[in-house]
Amino acid sequence: MAKYGEGDKRWIVEERPDGANVHNWHWAETNCLEWSRTLFSNLLSGLTILDGEGNLHIKTKTVDRVEGDAYVNVRRGKIIPGYEIALTLSWEGEVKDSDGKSVIKCDGTVEIPYIADENADEDPEVRIMVKDEGPLGKRLKEAMGSKGKPVILEKVRVYVESMAKGGPAKDDLEVKKMPGTAAKSSVPSAAAAAAAASNVGAQKEVKKEKKGFKTITLTEKFSCRAKDMFEILMDENRWKGFTQSNAKISKEVGGEISIFDGSVTGMNVELVEGKLIVQKWRFGSWPDGVTSTVKIALDEPEPGLTVVKLTQTGIPEEDRYGNATVVENTERGWRDLIFHKIRAVFGFGI
């Protein structure tokens, strides 16, 4: 067994030039709501729907509202978009006589109450409204429905396809696949602009001063004995079972640990059976030399009830590639990939 600090490849995660998130302990998540607002605005604003056909003139004005959630997760190189969006678009119409003089002008709105990834293969509902309910206003509304709705749905499909390709995260993915080469994006121009703005410097590791470190604390309750929880957290075979990944865990102080297929490595610092685990943890995507300290205190206030108090200190605010979601993703990893999995697999839920 290698000594701590010797650089044994069994437990040291090597630097990856492609910036890959090995085994994806982290979900690489990108918030896409602002990007979505920009893209919809560029896709739907100022469109000419009718320009004199039947003496009708109709065009869209502005996208007034884009609300909801939109994000892209990347795991094992797989793009997983998620979005639930409500959209409101304003439009205006005008009816002219045979001499080209204006007879009536009126405004209206288009509402799309639900654009969602779960219905990506279906066109969403489109509601068209007009402020003037008179005969000519209704005529404009009908024309907007028959001529404008297909145009709007076509633009929505562009958004759906762009999200499926990674949205604003697409450029970052392509750069990581082709280090040193500027990636060409097939996302529509508005999306590419938003992606470029949010991924400045994504082609190489960010060379700047570290912003600092953070601490996370979590308290979880389990329906089990404290000694059972201790054994699970220190048993590599059980780790392999509930994480569905390779794990090597020494049960000795100073011994090495490697979990999530080597994505997380470190060593045992202090072990008190059934009560305390203190380890050094390092993620392969972290800057060189950065190691955090994980402290897991186990308390059993009554038989069959174990309270786990986790403290992890020294977590960098950014990884070596400039991604500022390290703390958030680490906390999510503990909750979703460890604690929730232990409850599900071993039946320790409360």
Residue 200: exposure state from Cβ atoms within 10 A (0-12, 13-18, ≥19): exposed
Distances (CA, A) of 194 to 47, 143, 256, 339: 21, 33, 43, 36
Q: What is the pLDDT of residue 167?
A: 83
d(CA 306, CA 349): 11
Question: Contact 39/65 with Cβ under 8 angstroms?
Answer: no
Of 86, 79, 66, 87, the closest CA to residue 162 belongs to 79
d(CA 9, CA 31): 35
Mean confidence (pLDDT) of the chain: 81
Any idea of the CA torsion for 166, 170, 172, 178, to the nearest 10 degrees? Answer: 120
Q: Which residues pair with 316 in a beta bridge?
A: 213
Global pTM reads 0.47
Among the listed ranges 6-10, 70-74, 96-100, 162-166, which one has the minimum average pLDDT value? 6-10
At residue 211 the predicted structure's pLDDT band, cuts being 50, 70 and 90, is low
Coil vs helix vs strand at 26: coil
User: 107-141 b/e with 16+ CB inside 10 Å = b?
Assistant: ebbbebeebbbeeeeebbebebebebeeebbebbb
If one counts every other C-beta atom within 10 angstroms of the C-beta of residue 150, the result is: 12
Can you give the C-alpha Rg of the chain in angstroms? 27
Q: What is the pLDDT of residue 27?
A: 57
Q: What is the pLDDT of residue 24?
A: 47
Distances (CA, A) of 171 to 98, 103, 182: 51, 49, 9
d(CA 202, CA 323): 9
What 8-state DSSP symbol labels residue 220?
E
Q: What is the pLDDT of residue 243?
A: 87
Q: Which two tokens stand for residue 170?
A: 């697409």
